[in-house]
A and B are shown apart, each in its own frame.
Chain A
Amino acid sequence: MLLHWDKLGWWRWVLLAVTILTAVFLLLPILFIAALSFGSSQWLIFPPPSWTLRWYDELFADPSWLDAAWTSFKIAVVVALLSVLIGTLAAFGLVRGRFRGREALKAFFLTPMILPVVVLAVALYAFYLRVGLDGTVTGFVLAHLVVALPFSILSIGTALEGFDKSIEDAAVLCGATPLEAVLRVTLPAIASGLFSAAIFSFLASWDEVVLAIFMASPSLQTLPVKIWGTLRQDLTPVVAAVSTLLIALTLVLMLLVSLARRFAKSS
């Protein structure tokens, strides 16, 4: 390797310092929020005068928070399932298909990743008002599906590209119908790709706030919308508690993804 750790001389200390600073810069706000959520101060004083679980009690006692969480969860799960399903079909078409405009189509499928979400939100909102999808779970799911799909298509497409089509051909020659070959051989072989697609799609929906603000109605709110709304009214440590729980969930899911990848590699 060109840049070997042992050959860097005193530069390695600079490198180490930069790395630590970057990590701290990224982690500090999270640690800060976590600390505040356990702090006793109503006014979010830092460092907290003393420690308490009070805000977590309040959070779990308030049905509107649980409602919002449940709504978010429902929507995210449906989005994840649909995103994996549609993403699988799209990835097969984009990876295996030999047709004109394939590259253009691939780029088109990924545009929601670079398109400003606000633009998408306004467009969808105008459309939803017309067809009566605003403030409905279906509307939420469809909107979130748009931002989740690129993740699925990317991660399933990558897995499929790394899968040797000859293995599927071998299954067909063994007597499996093409569909059976895909279901029994190809999909299990790219299971880790499907799994990360599901997790990323879930998170894309679960964390999403811009679209959700447009889609939400007083009776249908997702967790990020509820956090947003609460923050605008009053600053309460309950929000810090919610955020901490959200971060914990995200961490657990990311851990699952990397475990799945490691498992797929070793087997």
Chain B
Amino acid sequence: MTPFLEIAGLSRHFGSFVAVRDVNLEIRKGEFMTFLGPSGSGKSTTLYALAGLDTPTSGNIRIEGKSILDVPPHRRNIGMVFQRYTLFPHLTVAENVGFPLSVRRRPAAEIAAKVGRMLELVRLQDFAQRKPGQLSGGQQQRVALARALVYEPPVLLMDEPLAALDKKLREEIQCEIRRIHRETGVTILYVTHDQEEALRLSDRIAVFSKGVIDQIGTGAELYENPATRFVAEFIGDSDFLPCDVLAVRDGLASIGLSGGLAVDGVPLHGNPAAGKAELMLRPERISLSRAMPASGPALPAVIGDLTFLGSHLQVAAATLDGRALSVRLPFGHEVVGSLARGDEVWLSFRPADACAFCSAQGGS
């Protein structure tokens, strides 16, 4: 079966600089797909290629099997909400939302009806006659959303539409976007560098790093099974300890940590040829005890700073060779009350909860 939207081998070079390298992606109809990555990782460039505002150096983009690269942007019938405010300053809110229908030469009655329905969808019925300059940033982006949806495009692109808003407003509009996605069933490609936003909104997330997609998956998949160290760092919190790869079988490695501790059954990513790797540990997956646990891998460590964060206690610990490890303890944990700076404790973890990434050379 052909996917609804397909990006195949997409690359974009600016001179000798490669902004996007061989991006491959298949998106289902009605899916909410997020491009997550740091600044400059090529998210916008990929989105602009979809919109037709930029021409990729190579690769193809297909919707329902047909390439759209030769279709000029105004005939692609794709909706887009930009990071910057892009409402037409001289038109009212209603005229802005009606603009796509007006350029499609629809009858006035139809335009009025659809504009009304759209403004209702973004809950701005009472602002129809205002000019963009008289709206708050959040309201402007909701109008932009209405304008991008009014002609019922099959695909909606959103390039960090909420980046300029404060946290509370952002969360409010995230809820609206979810609801609108549910109600309209539109396929959404959403760009953000905020992992929380990505996790909250998306069906699947594509993690961008330096112009390539490191991994595609649901938020849970990315969290549980990060394919690269970069993804592990970007989704959730993590600490890394250097280790040696002793043996590998079926994707599981035996590793040796400094201090002589050997751990079997750690999921391994990358090419172990170099023999060096980094062990990833999540703060919320580490157990802390005063006595050495009877079984399972455990590291001796010294307690540093303790920070109460409401529901849990954030512990900054250091291994004997001085590596920092954070541990997150639920508030009711037995040792929470008595723990103090300088205490010597044991940190243990299940090998399956950890993950080892081979050091560069050979690459991931």
Contacts and interface: CB of A to CB of B under 8 A. Distances in A.
B78 interface: yes
Given A169-B53, A267-B131, A267-B133, A174 B100 contact: yes
Contact of B147 (A174, A180, A188, A267): A174
Specify the main secondary structure of chain A where it touches its partner: helix
Given A164-B86, A166-B82, A166-B84, A175 B131 contact: no
A167 interface: yes
Contacts of A173: 51-53, 73-74, 76, 78-80, 148
Contacts of A169: 51, 53, 73, 82, 86
Contact of B74 (A166, A167, A178, A185): A178
B103 interface: yes
Contacts of A177: 74
A180 B144 CA distance: 19
Interface string A110-133: 000000000000000000000000
Interface residues of B, number: 28
Contact of B104 (A171, A175, A184): A175
A184 B77 CA distance: 19
Contacts of B349: none
Contacts of B82: 166, 169-170
Interface in A115-162: none
B154 to A, nearest CB: 14
Contacts of A253: none
A176 B84 contact: no
A174 B103 contact: yes
Interface string B140-164: 0000100110010000000000000
A172 interface: yes
Most chain B beta-carbon contacts within 10 A, residue among A166, A175, A180, A189: A175
Contacts of A188: 88, 90
B99 interface: yes
Contacts of A176: 74, 99, 103
A164 B88 CA distance: 10
For chain A, which range describes its interface: under 10, 10 to 19, 20 to 34, or 35 or more residues? 20 to 34
Interface in B42-63: 51-53
A185 B88 contact: yes
A184 B133 CA distance: 18
Nearest to B134: A267
Most chain B beta-carbon contacts within 10 A, residue among A172, A176, A185, A188: A172
Contacts of B103: 171, 174-176, 180, 184
Interface string A186-213: 0011010000000000000000000000
A176 to B, nearest CB: 5
B114 to A, nearest CB: 13
Nearest to B53: A169
A189 B90 contact: yes
B296 interface: no
B217 to A, nearest CB: 29
Interface string B172-212: 00000000000000000000000000000000000000000
A171 B99 contact: yes
Contact of B80 (A164, A170, A191): A170
A172 B52 CA distance: 10
A137 to B, nearest CB: 35
Nearest to A186: B88
Contacts of A171: 88, 99, 103
A174 to B, nearest CB: 4
A170 to B, nearest CB: 4
B89 A189 contact: yes
A191 B88 CA distance: 13
A87 B99 CA distance: 28
Nearest to B76: A173
Contacts of A174: 74, 99-100, 103, 147-148, 151
A180 B99 CA distance: 11
A144 to B, nearest CB: 31
Contacts of B90: 188-189, 191, 267
Contacts of A170: 80, 82, 86, 88, 144, 147
Given A180-B103, A267-B133, A172 B73 contact: yes
Contacts of A267: 89-90, 131, 133
B77 A175 contact: yes
Contacts of A180: 103
Contacts of B84: 164, 166
Interface of B: 51-53, 73-80, 82, 84, 86-90, 99-100, 103-104, 131, 133, 144, 147-148, 151
7 contacts: A169-B73, A172-B73, A173-B53, A173-B73, A173-B76, A175-B104, A178-B74
Given A169-B73, A170-B80, A173-B76, 16 more contacts: A164-B86, A169-B51, A170-B147, A172-B53, A173-B51, A173-B52, A173-B53, A173-B79, A175-B74, A175-B104, A175-B151, A176-B74, A177-B74, A188-B90, A189-B89, A189-B90
Please give me the 5 A-B residue pairs with the lowest Cβ-Cβ distance, nearest first: A174-B100, A170-B86, A188-B90, A176-B103, A167-B86
